[in-house]
Amino acid sequence: MNTGLGGAMDIIGILLSVIFVSAMLIWVERRLLAVWQDRLGPNRVGPLGLFQVAADMIKMFFKEDWIPPFADKPVFVLAPTIVFITMLTGFAVIPFAPGVGIIDFNFGLLYFLALTSLSVYSVVLAGYASNNKYSMLGSLRAAAQTVSYEVFMGISIMGVVMLSGTFNLREIVEAQRDGWFILPQFAGFIVFLVAAVAESRRAPFDLPEAEQELIAGFHIEYSGMKFGMFFVGEYLGITLSSAMIVTLFFGGWLGPWLPPLVWFCLKTAAFILFFILLRGSLPRPRYDQLMTFGWKAMLPVALLNLLATGAVALSSA
């Protein structure tokens, strides 16, 4: 990767672009769900309601940053920063295009899995520090849900590692020049996609903050910028998961005619839209149904995919 001034400019450009995209996804989600459900959505503040995001940000900045007197204040303040930092630094290993990225090392895929594991500490600490029963129940749900689906996510990508022979994300993309891994690893893709939705705690798997049961779950006591960090962190997680799906299963930046960076952005945008439309399409299951589905359906599929991929790899060796 580039070093010196060029490398610093790449880092700043990528991080600012990611934060801007995540912020604009607030508007995209509102408009897209409005179209999906035959209603208007934001259309008052600026053209097409584009300035609604700016209005929300101003509100976040100036809203009272209240900390409950019964909360564990240091942990309460630390919790929202964890999810924001872990999701943001996850983009460090994403190969956006040849020569475009922050860092390239041989264990980028393991780095991604490690950061997604660390992000669960944010919701656990938020629920604990809030000293609120609803928050605590939400954080316990989030911990069990994330840890469970991390298992399936890790197993689902082992087939990609077998086919490419590396944990390096750039080399995984290059290994797909003769064909995207979505075809031989379709089962692994489905498992990874479902696990990514569950780990990002997006509907229909938003059980840790199910308003009918837990009001707002683990961030019920948060307001102002702390709530905003949880909010943006969720969209950062969606963008990171979409970028990783494109990298592992859809050839990353590979594609004809258009520049590589454009291909990567178009593919990632398609999966971001899928995450958003999924929210307006499926009902939320019960929590026991979610966990049962993971261990009784997702785990066997992930293991069978791993065994089949290993058998094919050995037979062709």
Per-residue model confidence as pLDDT tens digits over 216-270:
667 777 877 888 888 888 889 899 999 999 999 999 999 888 999 999 999 999 9
pLDDT band at 71 (very low <50, low <70, confident <90, very high): confident
Query: What is the span of the domain harbouring residue 72?
Result: 4-316
List pLDDT tens digits, range 297-312.
Answer: 999 999 999 999 999 8
What angle (nearest 5°) sits at the alpha carbon of residue 98, between those of residues 260 and 250? 55
Provide the residue count of the chain.
317
List pLDDT tens digits, range 94-146.
Answer: 999 888 888 888 889 999 999 888 888 888 888 888 888 888 888 888 888 88
Of residues 142, 299, 167, the one with CA closest to residue 244: 167
Q: CA-CA distance, 127 to 134, in Å (whole number)?
A: 8
pTM for the model:
0.91
Q: What's the whole-number average pLDDT of the chain?
A: 86
| Number of folded domains that form the chain | 1
Q: Which helix (H) or strand (E) holds 303?
A: helix 299-316
Instruction: Determine contact, residues 310/160, Cβ cutoff 8 Å.
Output: no
